Chains A and B, each alone.
Chain A
């Protein structure tokens, strides 16, 4: 514990220099600005920044990415409140009450609440990140190939299950990601799989060009496919948060923080689900559920606390297990790999300082959010009004040059174009991009650990089910599948409703 505090102190002091502070606050501002712009998702921002930070020192590059990530998740609340357009998917829940408050002439108050919720949520997540990452890392030291195989599979299956409206399509997208990750030379015997004698394919698809395609080019096409009247900003008052709003809803804030971190930790689930889950739970337990959707302070606070708490939450498994908690975390993990940071159970043994460096990065981005959120509202919104028809081709130019600059080969640009088109078509047909990306990142882990496990067990499948942690993970994977069988799904819902009907009145009375 004391060692952790010392390392955290060292990390904070280490970043207290003009270059790091400029990078941290600059990246946070960039993230907030990008988050404000509908069509620029947090994942897209991090992916593009990954290509732009390749030449930087690893710690500075990761600092930029973490700050931009946190800033982007927060930034989307501005347009959600003032324009009724969520800047990122994570802020869709904030539209419900934020926009209603704005229509009632309380836009400034709503932004203050969103800022408070985001800051408190991130700080709560930050404490969890500092406490749980070492713990999880220690537990993960006992993990073997069998456990890592199940963890990778669970990540893809759970992401497909929760992110997609239709789990079947989510799983198919995830498995496609696993398959694509396996193309080219495999990790055990350097055998070329599905390369058809092509030298470029033999090296496999670069992770970053595929990610740039999946989140950059496909996003450009998605935005360009829609016509949208240019919104006008409505007037707002002071965004300074009121202490009473925070004190009155401390239970909601704490609960949303816990939900946000937990959803963040779940592999591949993401910030949008954290916001919706926090919002839904707050509504269910509220004394004033009728106000939700009509300008509820509590609802807005819950949504914004939940989504930002899930940012550090998602980083926990990415650092401790190398299993990303969300799509942006998957990109962050890929960036870490590119910069030579080996996330996973050995991180706490070989480079424990890095975990606390990340905690310090999140702290700096939170300070940036507080500052920019309270004092930079009007200029931010002016930037957010830049027409998307101008912004999107510029984004595409960056997608092209970003993919190319990785290793100066046009194959990466073609990869970006191909996967961008594929993911766009898939998304149009209900296949989400997040499980695909999770599959892409986890493909190597799953492949190697399944085969390593089979080597260790001499081809016997029993250890995959008989070791305690393996068994639990296997049951979770199986449970995720079978609860989607219509009869079982209906039974689970009936059981949940029955339990809720008994428990909810008691909880409402106690709060």
Chain B
């Protein structure tokens, strides 16, 4: 099941790599070759990106073709050394590690992080208040043993209420007073 999902992702991945490679090659080709400065064509700025673009197209195509032909085994290890190592790793992954992927948890965590770091930071809100609010919400809404949204408990509320302002204060003072950073 996992392998089928990965193969399907490989198909999309292959297409993305090929499209990206074509865009990179086009960008490299269209780049100024600085001939007016008497620079040899082989050392033009677009040479390396162009070669990388070709590599993206070739490897992306292999990914795609391998998927289409069904020949690819996404988990097939490469070298003798890695065969043994990967086999050992796969065979013996501890039970405690077999965790299920929960996309809701990722989505919520990502949303909180991006809202804090990408949207609100630098928008005029005070750094301490913003950081403390982010930490409070993240700790409150995401517990590692719980499903999303985490069931609110007094204990978690207290932990979040204590940890969030304390960490925000320490981080702010450390960077502002010791590292002399002008906070956003």
Residues of A that sit less than 8 Å from B by CB? 52, 54-55, 83-86, 92-93, 95-96, 99, 161-162, 164-169, 171-172, 175-176, 178-179, 182, 186, 188-189, 191, 193-194, 217, 220-221, 223-231, 273, 276-277, 279-280, 293, 387-390, 392-394, 396-401, 404-405, 408, 410, 413-414, 416-417, 421, 424, 428-430, 446-447, 450-452, 454-455, 458-459, 483-484, 486, 489, 492-493, 496
Contact = CB atoms under 8 A, between A and B. Distances in A.
Interface string B139-170: 10011111100000000000100010001100
Contact of B99 (A52, A226, A455): A226
B56 A175 contact: yes
Contacts of A189: 34, 37, 39, 45
B79 to A, nearest CB: 6
Contact of A389 (B40, B71, B142, B147): B142
A276 B81 CA distance: 9
B94 interface: yes
A492 B9 CA distance: 29
A459 B42 contact: yes
A168 B62 contact: yes
The 8 closest A-B pairs by CB, nearest first: A276-B85, A226-B99, A393-B138, A224-B109, A459-B42, A454-B42, A191-B45, A280-B84
Among A92, A164, A182, A227, chain B packs the most CB atoms within 10 A around the CB of A227
Contact of B113 (A161, A220, A489): A220
A204 B45 CA distance: 14
Given A172-B59, A493-B83, A228 B145 contact: yes
A175 B58 CA distance: 12
A172 B17 contact: yes
Contacts of A404: 121, 181, 183-184
Nearest to A398: B171
B78 A162 contact: yes
26 contacts: A84-B94, A85-B97, A92-B93, A93-B89, A95-B92, A162-B78, A169-B13, A169-B63, A182-B48, A188-B43, A191-B32, A193-B46, A220-B113, A224-B142, A228-B99, A276-B85, A396-B113, A397-B131, A397-B134, A397-B168, A400-B117, A413-B118, A417-B117, A451-B48, A454-B42, A454-B47
A459 B40 CA distance: 8
Contacts of B118: 413-414, 417
Contact of A454 (B40, B62, B84, B139): B40
A54 to B, nearest CB: 7
Contacts of A92: 89, 93
Nearest to A162: B82
Given A175-B55, A221-B110, A496-B80, A447 B48 contact: yes
Nearest to A222: B106
Contact of B27 (A166, A194, A393): A194
Contacts of B131: 397
A410 B118 CA distance: 8
B167 to A, nearest CB: 5
A226 B99 CA distance: 6
Interface in B8-27: 9-10, 13, 17, 24, 27
B31 A165 contact: no
What is the interface of chain A mostly: helix, strand, loop, or mixed?
Answer: helix
Contact of A225 (B82, B105, B139, B183): B105
A277 B40 contact: no
Given A168-B59, A276-B88, A421-B110, A179 B78 contact: no
B1 interface: no
Contacts of B78: 161-162, 164, 166-167, 483-484, 489
Contacts of B85: 273, 276-277, 280
Contacts of A191: 31-32, 34, 45
B6 A388 contact: no
A455 B47 CA distance: 13
Nearest to A393: B138
Contact of A227 (B71, B75, B102, B168): B102
Nearest to B31: A193
B175 A401 contact: yes
A389 B139 contact: yes
Nearest to B74: A166
B116 to A, nearest CB: 7
Contacts of A489: 78
Nearest to A52: B179
Given A166-B74, A172-B56, A230 B48 contact: no
A1 to B, nearest CB: 33
A405 B101 CA distance: 33
A54 B163 CA distance: 27
A314 B145 CA distance: 37
B42 A408 contact: no
B56 A229 contact: no
Contacts of B181: 401, 404-405, 408
Contact of B106 (A224, A430, A486): A224
A193 B45 contact: yes
Given A224-B142, A276-B84, A280-B88, A393 B175 contact: no
Contacts of B105: 224-227
A75 B100 CA distance: 25
B9 to A, nearest CB: 5
B75 to A, nearest CB: 5
B111 to A, nearest CB: 11
A277 to B, nearest CB: 6
B145 A227 contact: yes
Given A165-B74, A394-B167, A413 B48 contact: no
Nearest to A278: B85
Given A450-B47, A454-B40, A458-B40, A396 B117 contact: yes
Given A405-B181, A489-B78, A393 B139 contact: yes
Task: Output the residue of B32, B46, B88, B138 with the most chain A CB within 10 A.
Answer: B88
Contact of B122 (A188, A410, A451): A410
A452 B43 CA distance: 8
Contacts of A178: 48, 52
A452 B39 CA distance: 12
A275 to B, nearest CB: 9
A430 B84 contact: no
Contacts of A164: 78
